[in-house]
């Protein structure tokens, strides 16, 4: 049965209450989920390397990890800089990232980004959200991930999973991922900035799913108000 939020749970949060929930309950949720996802292959491949994060993000759009990770493993041992990529033809990049969704478009996007990085940034990946968003195919989500995960600078990558789960938890009430990002920037302790995206993407894929959250098997319900959760999937037998 879907959870019907109580009036208490759905009432408008005051700014003070929202700040309190983001700074206390949300870290408790993240601490509880983190042990489930200690090792993630993309961490080993990309963390601390802004170029790999950038290319990995472009490949991963609308593509499952099961496809993105092997594509990154094929690419990066051999091609690890914009100059390396520019030695390849579009067709060769297509072949290397296939079967990623929209692989033809992504291959062109990757090569165009590499050319801009060489022409404008001396082959380096910029470390500000504003500069990164000037690259074709790079939105705020990817830019934050490159800054946070690649450059290890303060940034919060809020995609649709982070936005959805934060609102379900009842720690904030926002209408868009950008609004969620700015609310988190104001109150989430910095130690959680880099990891919130990975943890919520994986938990959102496994349990707190977009349609049919598996609240029945969720182990962190004590931190969640289950706001507007619909169509919970029954336990599989
Ligand atoms: S699965 Fe349900 S209980 Fe768990 S975090 Fe998501 S909405 Fe909350």
Q: Is 229's C-beta closer than 6 angstroms to any atom of ligand 1?
A: yes
Query: What pLDDT does 230 receive?
Result: 77
Domain count, the chain: 2
Which structure tokens are listed for 91? Answer: 């067709």
Quick one: 197 and 162 in the same domain?
yes
Ligand 1 atom with the shortest distance to the CA of 232: 2
Q: For residue 236, is it within any domain?
A: no
Q: For residue 79, is it within any domain?
A: yes
Query: What pLDDT does 148 receive?
Result: 94
Query: What pLDDT does 236 receive?
Result: 59
The residue segments making up the domain with residue 100 are 49-150
Q: For residue 230, is it within any domain?
A: no
Which structure tokens are listed for 87? Answer: 């030695």
Q: For residue 205, is it within any domain?
A: yes
Q: For residue 237, is it within any domain?
A: no
**Counting beta carbons within 10 angstroms of the beta carbon of residue 231, is it exposed (0 to 12), middle (13 to 18) or buried (19 or more)?**
exposed
Tens of pLDDT along the chain (237 residues)? 444 444 445 689 999 999 999 999 999 999 999 999 987 777 778 889 999 999 999 999 989 989 999 999 999 989 999 999 999 999 999 999 999 999 999 999 999 999 999 999 999 999 999 999 999 989 999 999 999 999 999 999 999 999 999 999 999 999 999 999 999 999 999 999 999 999 999 999 999 999 989 999 999 999 999 999 976 665 555
Mutate to test the pocket of ligand 1, among 224, 230, 233, 235 (most ligand atoms within 8 A of CB): 224
Those residues whose C-beta lies under 8 Å from the C-beta of residue 16, and which sit 6 or more positions away, are none
> What's the CATH code of the domain at 72?
1.10.340.30
Q: Report d(CA 190, CA 177) in Å as an integer.
A: 18
- Which of 133, 150, 167 is the C-terminal boundary of a domain? 150
Q: Is 95's C-beta closer than 6 angstroms to any atom of ligand 1?
A: no
Cα dihedral 216, 222, 227, 233 in deg (nearest 10):
-10
Q: Report d(CA 82, CA 111) in Å as an integer.
A: 8
Task: Say if residues 152 and 49 touch (Cβ distance below 8 Å).
Answer: no
pLDDT in tens, 111-170: 999 999 999 999 999 999 999 999 998 999 999 999 999 999 999 999 999 999 999 999
- Which of 117, 150, 183 is the C-terminal boundary of a domain? 150
Task: Say if residues 30 and 197 touch (Cβ distance below 8 Å).
Answer: no
Q: For residue 202, is it within any domain?
A: yes
- Which of 113, 134, 150 is the C-terminal boundary of a domain? 150
Query: What pLDDT does 39 receive?
Result: 73
Quick one: 68 and 143 in the same domain?
yes
Task: Say if residues 58 and 106 touch (Cβ distance below 8 Å).
Answer: yes
């Amino acid at each position: 049965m879907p959870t019907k939020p109580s009036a208490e749970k759905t009432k408008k949060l005051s700014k003070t209450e929202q700040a309190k929930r983001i700074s206390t309950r949300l870290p408790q949720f993240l601490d509880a989920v983190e042990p489930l996802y200690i090792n993630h292959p993309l961490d080993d491949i990309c963390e601390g390397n802004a170029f790999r994060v950038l290319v990995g993000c472009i490949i991963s759009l609308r593509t499952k990890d099961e496809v993105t990770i092997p594509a990154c493993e094929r690419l990066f041992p051999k091609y690890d800089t914009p100059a390396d990529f520019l030695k390849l033809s579009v067709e060769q990049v297509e072949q290397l990232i296939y079967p990623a969704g929209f692989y033809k478009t992504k291959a062109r996007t990757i090569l165009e980004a590499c050319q801009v990085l060489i022409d404008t940034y001396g082959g380096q990946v910029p470390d500000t959200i504003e500069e990164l968003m000037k690259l074709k195919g790079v939105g705020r989500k990817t830019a934050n991930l490159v800054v946070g995960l690649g450059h290890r600078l303060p940034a919060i990558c809020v995609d649709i999973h982070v936005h959805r789960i934060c609102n379900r938890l009842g720690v904030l009430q926002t209408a868009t991922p950008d609004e969620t990002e700015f609310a988190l920037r104001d109150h989430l302790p910095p130690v959680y900035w880099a990891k919130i995206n990975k943890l919520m993407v994986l938990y959102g894929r496994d349990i707190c799913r977009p349609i049919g959250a598996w609240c029945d098997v969720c182990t962190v319900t004590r931190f969640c108000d289950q706001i507007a959760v619909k169509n919970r999937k029954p336990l599989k037998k």
